[in-house]
A and B are shown apart, each in its own frame.
Chain A
Amino acid sequence: MSSAILETTSTAATMRRNFWRGVWRVMKRKPSRLVGAVIVLGFTFMGVFGPMFYPEVLPRDTSQLYAPMSAEHWFGTDGQGRDVLAQVITGSRYVLLSALVTAVITVVLGTAIGLFSGFKRGRWDTVLMRLTDMKLTIPGLPLLLVLSTVWSFGSALEMGLLLGLLGWGGVARAVRSQTLSLRERGFIEAARGLGLSTTHIVGKELLPSMAPYIAMNMLIAVTGAVYAQVGLFFLGVLPYEADNWGVMLNLSVFGGGALTTTAALPYMLAPLLAILLLTLGIVLVVDAMDEIFNPRLREE
């Protein structure tokens, strides 16, 4: 039996290794997932390091306004002669950072409230769910429009914070219903019968079972946040203080007339393409989440 004990002391480390090996196996199963991962990693790299390759203020070339696509300017230039690709890259940091902040807040807040509500039930549940319902009835866009009159959202963190605070309702509801169904399962009842702490039950038994769900919501929240803020900037309700894909869209359409003439078309297409690519990457990765967090699907 001593060999068995020796074996188990290192199980934690072995398991962690097995997990990552399993993740790799899941990703390899479909090439589309790898493509998705590469895209998402690419955008992460772009957001973190991209802006470092460019000067604070992008150089203007007044001889080249709305230049077409060329080897020098892959996506042409804008109305002030700045390189479009450079703008997409420097603008990505704001977009991605705020989207990330939104996703984290949405998921952390939504999961916490949903878990607490579903696990405690009773009075707490009623109060929290009424609150959630109220929050869900607040129309997001008009509120944002109102808030934008007093707030300029110069920082990505502020933007992310606001969108996050507006977005957790759906996740909270969904997590709550998951919790309600999971807590009836035998293993949760057994954990309670064994006298395990609530912290353990929620953190170690409930949460991992919901991991694929939460991870999916997080990724989807990223895309949602990108759409929301790009939309705000596009509508022009926010001042152009920040570099942003939405600002680019706004200028290309309302300044360059990209919808009527072809000159500013690349200027409009570049940020659109970036958004599309990011969404695609995320959708492809989401596909793997269920298999990554479910040991049975992971090992097969």
Chain B
Amino acid sequence: MITGEGIVKTFKQRGNVLGAREVRALRGVDFAIPKGGAASFIGESGCGKTTLGRIIAGLETYDEGELTLDGVPMSSLKPKQRQPHFRKIQLIHQDPYSALNPTRTIHQTLNAPLTLRAKQTGRSKAWIEERAAEVLSMVGLDPGSVLARYPHQLSGGMRQRVVIARALTVDPEMLVADEAVSMIDVSLRLGILALLKDLRERLGVAVLFITHDVATSRYIGDDGELYVIYRGQVVERGPVDTVIADPVHPYTQSLLSAIPVLHGLERPGEQPVTPVESMEAGQDESGCLFAPRCPFRGERCADERPLLQVTEGIPQEHACFYPERRSVVARPMSEV
């Protein structure tokens, strides 16, 4: 079980003589991912979803709040002591091309963490070799043909599988996939998504999916939770299928409306939402963060910030004063 409570992260950008500029990446985010569960953070680039993923994987620190891994609050530990906890959470990078060392063979890449593991648990050398072959088979690669290769000899899809195999060498409890398929050929993306889902079911590994492409988050399992993040705040949270089918926050609705419709195969939703274009200068700090772009903003939005809440008749949590269901998602022709 991995939980976060009120996680705040502020980046200080080196400014001019007059002082540094602060960028609020996360403004008090709560989340909970059960053992073997699935969750997905979605939002535009710069919304803080990647920062949150990196905090969860122990690659970034947070300023306020508490991250708890299996009941152990991370702030109670010294940095050195946190390492074994964070090892249980493995990050799958977006770019499989930079995630593997180009000068090392797949064999070398997998052996390093396995050797460490063997030393800790008193296992033999034969176990290392066996396990390396095993994790490769788990991700659908043929160990015999892959082990002796260098990364450049593999396709993008195969590399991403190797990256996942490397993460599996430490028996992780959760995989954090940060845009893990965005750099992979379209025809192969579903293969990686299916693999993550399969690992979840077979090994009980939790999966956290970070993406700007909402559709891919459906493929990690229908019990997954969706977190829609806007400017460091969770604005809508609920079961994946519920949020996609019936989004209530105007930002979620804008995101879903923006997904291209396969005309000829699908018909677009009847009430698409087009937000006001984001202008960097108009970063308003008071009131609802989305209000400056929101086509439906009301009186309360300018001064008061809505917090994540449950309201009557709406199954998911949302942070909007005027939640309303709108039909924004395209549906297959065959369904209508």
The answer to A–B direct touch (Cβ < 8 A) is yes
Kindly name the residue among A3, A208, A211 whose own CB sees the greatest number of chain B CB atoms within 10 A.
A208
Q: Given A5-B129, A195-B170, A294-B102, are A11 and B107 also a contact pair (CB < 8 Å)?
A: yes
Which chain A residue has the least Cβ–Cβ distance from B113? A194
Q: Given A187-B99, A204-B112, are A4 and B143 also a contact pair (CB < 8 Å)?
A: yes
- B91 lies within 8 A of A209 (CB): no
Which chain A residue has the least Cβ–Cβ distance from B93? A186
Asked whether B194 is an interface residue with its Cβ less than 8 Å from the other chain, the reply is no
Asked whether A243 is an interface residue with its Cβ less than 8 Å from the other chain, the reply is no
- B116 lies within 8 A of A196 (CB): yes
Q: Given A4-B133, A11-B147, are A195 and B103 also a contact pair (CB < 8 Å)?
A: no
Partner of A191, one of B86, B112, B137, B152: B112
Within the complex, the shortest CB–CB distance from A3 to chain B, in Å, comes to: 7
CB under 8 Å from chain B, chain A span 259-293: 293
CB under 8 Å from chain A, chain B span 57-105: 57-59, 83-84, 86-87, 90-91, 93, 95, 98-105
A190 to B109, CA, bound (A): 11
The 0/1 profile, CB within 8 Å of B marked 1, for residues 1-33 of chain A is 101110111010011000000000000000000
- A8 lies within 8 A of B103 (CB): no
Asked whether B314 is an interface residue with its Cβ less than 8 Å from the other chain, the reply is no
Residues of B in contact with A, size category: 35 or more
- B104 lies within 8 A of A194 (CB): no
Partner of A209, one of B102, B143, B166: B102
A161 to B126, CA, bound (A): 46
Which chain A residue has the least Cβ–Cβ distance from B100? A187
- B116 lies within 8 A of A185 (CB): no
Given the complex, which residues of B lie within 8 Å of A194, measured CB to CB?
Answer: 87, 90, 112-113, 116, 166-167, 169-170
A8 to B148, CA, bound (A): 8
A5 to B134, CA, bound (A): 10
Within the complex, the shortest CB–CB distance from B79 to chain A, in Å, comes to: 12
Given the complex, which residues of A lie within 8 Å of B107, measured CB to CB?
Answer: 8, 11
Q: Given A5-B130, A194-B169, A196-B112, are A208 and B150 also a contact pair (CB < 8 Å)?
A: no
Asked whether A133 is an interface residue with its Cβ less than 8 Å from the other chain, the reply is no
- A190 lies within 8 A of B144 (CB): no
- A187 lies within 8 A of B98 (CB): yes
Within the complex, the shortest CB–CB distance from A221 to chain B, in Å, comes to: 23
Q: Given A1-B137, A195-B113, A196-B113, are A190 and B104 also a contact pair (CB < 8 Å)?
A: no
- B101 lies within 8 A of A205 (CB): yes
- B112 lies within 8 A of A4 (CB): no
Q: Which 5 A-B pairs have the closest CB atoms?
A: A186-B99, A4-B144, A296-B152, A208-B103, A186-B93
A-binding residues in B (CB < 8 A): 57-59, 83-84, 86-87, 90-91, 93, 95, 98-105, 107-108, 112-113, 116, 126, 129-130, 132-133, 137, 142-144, 147-148, 150, 152-153, 163, 166-167, 169-170
